Amino acid sequence: MLTSVRASTRPNWAEVSLSALRHNFRTLQRHVGPAVTICAVVKCDAYGHGSEACARALEQEGACWFGVTSTDEGVALREAGIGSRILILVGAWRGEEEDALRYGLTPTVSRFEDVEAVALAATRIGRREPVAVHLKLDTGMARLGLSLSELDNFAQRIKAVHQVELEGVFSHLASAEVLDDVDAARQQERFNQALRTLASYHLHPPIRHLANSSATLGRPDSWYNFVRPGMAIYGYELPLVHRDGKIIEHRELLGLRPAMSWKTRVLSLRNVPAGQALGYNGAYVTKSPARVAVIAVGYGDGLYRKLSPGGYVLLRGQRAPFVGRISMDLTIVDASHIPGVEIGDEVVLIGRSGDERITAVDHARWSDTIAYEILCNLSERVVRHHVE
C-alpha cells in the first residue's frame, strides 16, 4: 500500500517505511522493557517523516503516548484520529489552554502561572475531573522548566489547585550522548533531588521521565518509567561519545532501521570539456572531460548548499559527487565514472542503492550540522509517500 500527502509531477519525493517505524518501536520497547512506557516524539512533523501517518502506524503497533511541541500539533493528531495520550512538551501557549483540554491533550507546566491558566481553562469549559499535567524542571540546561529554587513554593501551591493533577515530572539532558559527562550526572542527581522534594510534600507523580533518544540507547539509569525517543524511532542510533568527543566503539547496536529514503531523478545529461565552469559563479571547473547529470533537487527542497563540494548521491548503485553550487531547484553531479546513466534514472539522496547507502548522518557530516536538522529541514514540496 502506498499513500501520498499530495500529488506532484516534480520528480522529488521521500519514501517513509511504516514497517521500519514499527520495527524500531518494537525494538526500543524490548530494549527498555515492559515496565517502561515509550512516548514516541512526533514533533516537527515527525522529524520530517509526516506526523499523522507515522503516529497512526505507531499507535497500531502499541504506542500509547506521543510527544509534540505545541497545541496545534496535538490538535492535528486528534483530528487525524489518534486516540493515544499526547504530551505538549513545551506547554500550551497563552490562550490555547481551552483547546488543549477540549482535545484531550496533556499540557506541560513550567511555572505556577501555567497551572493557574490550566485551572481557569478547566473551569471555563466546565470540566469536572482534574486535568493531568506534567511539570518540566530545569536541571541545568537553562532553557525551559521550573527552577529548582522555586520547587518548594510550587509544590505548596499546586496542592491547593484541585482542578489540576500532577501526573508527571520531567527534565531534559543537555548532553545525553556523552556517557561520562559530569554535567549529565549532575542533572540526573538534581532531578532525583527534585523527586524527593516533591515527595516531602506528599506529591508522587506516577510518571517520571528524563531520557531522550541518546539516553534511551545508552543510559538505563535515566529511564525511570517513561522515555521520549525521537530520532531513534525514525531509525537513527546516533553516536555515543566520551567527554573528549571520541566515539564509543564496539557498543551493541539495536538494529534500528532508518525509515526515510529521499529520491529524485536525472533531468539532463551532457558531456562537457575540460576547463568547463559548472553552475553559479563557476565555483567548480572540470579538470578533464566529464559527463554530468542535472538532478531535480536543490536547497528549496532542503538540500544543504554546504554539501557541495564533499557530498554524494547514489546513481545506479554508485556514488556520484556534487559538482558546482547547489541551487534552489537543480543540482549537478558528476556521472563520468558510471556507465549507462540515462535521463529519468532514479537518484538516491538518502537511502540505499545497490550495496551503497547514504544516511542523514552522512549529510550532516558533509555539511557540518546534525542529522536532526537534515531531516527536519526537508521541504514541504518534497512529497512524502508512506509505504508499508
Query: pLDDT of 278-310, one tens digit each?
Result: 999 999 999 999 999 999 999 999 999 999 999
With 60 as the cut, is the pLDDT of residue 324 above it? yes
pTM of the model: 0.93
Average pLDDT (313-335) is 97
With 60 as the cut, is the pLDDT of residue 137 above it? yes
pLDDT tens digits, 199-212 = 999 999 999 999 99
pLDDT confidence tier of residue 43, bands split at 50, 70 and 90: very high
Choose which CATH entry (3.20.20.10, 2.40.10.10, 3.40.47.40, 3.40.190.10) describes domain 36-227.
Answer: 3.20.20.10
Instruction: List the chain domain ranges.
Output: 36-227, 260-387
Is residue 229 within 8 A of residue 40, CB to CB? The reply is yes
pLDDT tens digits, 329-376 = 999 999 999 999 999 999 999 999 999 999 999 999 999 999 999 999
How many Å apart are CA 16 and CA 39, to the nearest integer?
20
How many Å apart are CA 60 and CA 69, to the nearest integer?
22
260-387 domain in CATH 3.10.180.10? no
With 90 as the cut, is the pLDDT of residue 252 above it? no
With 60 as the cut, is the pLDDT of residue 3 above it? no
SS (H, E, C) the chain: CEEECCCCCCCEEEEEEHHHHHHHHHHHHHHHCCCCEEEEECHHHHHCCCHHHHHHHHHHHCCCEEEECCHHHHHHHHHCCCCCEEEECCCCCCCCHHHHHHCCCEEEECCHHHHHHHHHHHHHCCCCCCEEEEEEEECCCCCCCEEHHHHHHHHHHHCCCCCEEEEEEECCCCCCCECCCHHHHHHHHHHHHHHHHHHHCCCCCCEEECECHHHHHHCHHHCCCEECCCCCCCCCCCCCECCCCCECCCCCCCCCCCCEEEEEEEEEEEEECCCCEECHHHCEECCCCEEEEEECCCHHHCCCHHHCCCCEEEECCEEEEECCCCCCCCEEEECCCCCCCCCCCEEEEEEEECCEEECHHHHHHHHCCCHHHHHHCCCCCCEEEEEC
Contacts 24+ apart (CB under 8 A), 201-207: 201/152, 201/155, 201/156, 201/159, 202/159, 203/155, 203/158, 203/159, 203/166, 205/134, 205/135, 205/166, 205/167, 205/168, 205/169, 206/167, 206/168, 207/37, 207/134, 207/167, 207/168, 207/169, 207/170
Catalytic residues, which ones? 43, 280
Lowest mean pLDDT segment, chosen from 85-94, 99-108, 179-188, 351-360: 179-188
